[in-house]
Amino acid sequence: MIPPEFDYAAPASVDEAISLLAQHGDDAKLLAGGHSLLPLMKLRFAAPALLVDLKNVGLSGISNGDGLTIGAGTRHVEIQSGDYGLLTEATKLIADQQVRNRGTIGGSIAHGDPASDPPAVVLAMDGTINVKGPNGERQIAAADMFQDYLTTALADDEVVISIDIPPYDGYGHAYLKFTRRAEDWAMVGVAALVKVEGGAFSDVRVGLTHMGTTPLRATAVEQALNGQPATADAIAVAAQAAAEGTDPPADLNATADYKRHLAQVMVRRALTQAAGL
Ligand code: FAD
């Protein structure tokens, strides 16, 4: 449980961090809360020669205007103790308070673990990831960010600066997570956002945690419900499509088939709760 030796730098600006990344290539890794990277290093699944600590670059903070802009260095605890709708609801369910005190939303998004909770929420909310590299800034839509297991659209020399979340005024929301033990990673997690107008669903968004190698949208459910009466029956029918297009990993917790069944049940419950039915 002791990581291999590494050098350590704590630059004072994002630009300095980027030039260290550019200089050292894939020998260097950014360090935020360390709650995903350090366990991997201790298990020797990762062995960066240089850790570039972001603690002095000032990327934390949340601005709440026309939607949210959340600094990448914002720790889970800051989101958990605010009033940021679905994001706050999901963040409260991340691990335990010690992890939430150190872990950051930027680290979670950059790490790209399909079992992490924030990625499915940011995906369901059509968030935008603002990143900076040697050639300047660019925006990555959440739909393009998560490419494979622990693989994102981020280049080795890019830093996540912030995450934009559009406003969802008038939406109901729910984040449900199925775990065998309290405070565990999700076997299946569901992020649901719904807007009901004139008794019918006008917008339905469903994100799935740990149902494949990336966070996913339950698009078949979303399409089946949009325009339908906002009833428990309509949700129950649509939720049967929750596992369409998913590929959940079989593991010590459950078979893939069991997780597909679980997704149907959890999507039904999350949508029912989000719609206030
Ligand atoms: P780090 O570990 O510091 O970094 C993770 C990766 O992101 C590294 O590759 C790093 O180089 C990169 N990175 C970090 N910041 C940036 C940036 N600004 N730009 C570009 N790259 C960056 N998470 C959940 O969602 N749900 C859970 O139930 C859960 N359970 C956990 C249980 C335990 C026991 C532990 C230790 C962790 C758990 N986590 C869980 C993970 C936790 O939320 C992490 O904090 C989070 O995934 C990563 O954030 P971090 O700030 O710690 O990132």
211-235 pLDDT, tens digit per residue, is 999 999 999 999 999 999 999 999 9
Q: Based on the domain organization, do 67 and 160 belong to the same domain?
A: yes
Mean pLDDT of 36-50: 94
Q: What is the CATH number of the domain that holds 15?
A: 3.30.43.10
Q: Based on the domain organization, do 236 and 144 belong to the same domain?
A: no
| Residue among 37, 109, 131 to mutate when testing ligand 1 (max atoms within 8 A of CB) | 37
Domain count, the chain: 3
- Of 102, 136, 165, the last residue of a domain is 165
Which pLDDT score, from 0 to 100, does residue 276 have?
97
Residue spans of beta strands (DSSP E) within 88-158: 128-133, 136-141, 146-148, 151-152
Q: What is the CATH number of the domain that holds 112?
A: 3.30.465.10
- Residue 71 contacts residue 32 (beta carbons within 8 Å): no
Parent domain of 147: 62-165
Does any ligand 1 atom lie closer than 6 A to the CB of residue 160? Answer: yes
Q: What CA–CA distance (Å, rounded) separates 253 from 235?
A: 27
Q: Based on the domain organization, do 161 and 113 belong to the same domain?
A: yes
Question: Is residue 1 in a domain?
Answer: no
- Of 144, 165, 186, the last residue of a domain is 165
Q: What CA–CA distance (Å, rounded) separates 221 from 264?
A: 10
Side by side, the strands of the sheet bearing 28-31 are 7-9, 50-53, 28-31
Q: Based on the domain organization, do 100 and 138 belong to the same domain?
A: yes
- Taking phi first (over 0 means left), then psi (-120 to 50 degrees means alpha), and beta for anything else, what does residue 270 get? alpha
Mean pLDDT score of the chain: 97
Q: Which residue lies with its CA nearest to atom 36 of ligand 1?
A: 35
The per-residue pLDDT for range 115-134, each reduced to its tens digit, is 999 999 999 999 999 999 99
In this prediction the pTM is: 0.97
Structure tokens at 264: 């149907």
Q: Based on the domain organization, do 206 and 256 belong to the same domain?
A: yes
Q: Based on the domain organization, do 26 and 99 belong to the same domain?
A: no
Question: Is residue 2 in a domain?
Answer: no
Question: Does residue 1 register a pLDDT over 80?
Answer: no
Question: Is residue 257 in a domain?
Answer: yes
Question: Is residue 254 in a domain?
Answer: yes
Q: What CA–CA distance (Å, rounded) separates 248 from 259?
A: 7
Does any ligand 1 atom lie closer than 6 A to the CB of residue 253? Answer: no
Distances from the Cα of 211 to the Cαs of 11, 119, 194, 217, 223, in angstroms?
37, 12, 21, 10, 19
